[in-house]
Amino acid sequence: MSESDGTSPAETLAGGHRPDPADPRLLRDALGRFATGVALVTARDADDGSPIAIVINSFASVSLDPPLVLWSVARSSMRHRHFTAAPAFAIHVLAEGQRDLTSRFSRSGPGFEGLALARNGEGVPVLPEALARFDCVTEAQHEGGDHTILLGRVTRFDLARTGLPLCFFGGGFGGFTPQI
């Protein structure tokens, strides 16, 4: 161990930083170096059944058999209790041209106001024109630090055969063009 900072010789050689709960900015910046897709999750409000939505970048496929996906919601989110109480939800993978939905569903955005939407068989609001949509029933929930991880069983899905994804990288939104 180095006497000056408590690091081992291997840690000193490899470099890097230790996560600091008192100052999470550097860790957040490092996590932001991983480009992700952007999705919009919709469900029904736990109190009155009205439509609710949240923009996420924590979506992942878990299993094809059974068909399972996951996403996570911050426990500090005002919408946390609604999504953790929801028996069903829909995940919409956003296309590059759907950037406006990210601000529409921010704290001060207009939400569903003026949007055409339908409801799926579970009564969950669904929006048209996503690159893909996964209608899910809640399979399980797991606590993960300051987030709740929601596992959904896919009951139906839809996909667009054309279009490019909306991406999130380094704190900003952008596009991605695959090299085919």
Domains in the chain, please, with CATH?
33-163 (2.30.110.10)
CA–CA distances in Å: residue 25 to residues 20, 38, 92: 9, 21, 29
The pLDDT-based confidence of 6 (bands split at 50, 70, 90) is low
Which among 166, 103, 95 has a CA at the least distance from the CA of 132? 95
- What is the DSSP code (8-state) at residue 32? T
Instruction: Let me know: does 141 contact 151? Beta carbons within 8 Å.
Output: yes
Q: In what order do the strands lie in the sheet with 132-144?
A: 51-56, 39-44, 88-93, 132-144, 147-159, 67-74, 60-64
pLDDT digits (tens, 9 = 90+) for 132-149: 999 999 999 999 999 999
Above 80 in pLDDT, residue 180?
Answer: no
**66 in Cβ contact with 125 (< 8 Å):** no
Across 19-30, average pLDDT = 85
Neighbours of 154 (CB within 10 A): 19
Compute φ and ψ for 103, nearest 5 degrees.
-80, -30
Among 25-34, 114-123, 158-167, which is the least confidently predicted range? 25-34
Q: Is the pLDDT of residue 2 over 60?
A: no
d(CA 119, CA 136): 13
pLDDT score at 1:
47
Instruction: List the one residue out of 180, 145, 146, 175 whose CA is nearest residue 163.
Output: 175
Quote the pLDDT of residue 12.
63
pLDDT score, position 4: 59
The reported pLDDT for the residue numbered 177 is: 84
Query: How confident is residue 178, by pLDDT bands cut at 50, 70 and 90?
Result: confident
Question: Tell me: the pLDDT tens digits for 78-91?
Answer: 999 999 999 999 99
* pLDDT value of residue 25: 87
Q: pTM of the full predicted structure?
A: 0.87
Handedness of CA 127, 77, 172, 176 (dihedral sign): negative
Residues 138/89, Cβ–Cβ less than 8 Å: yes
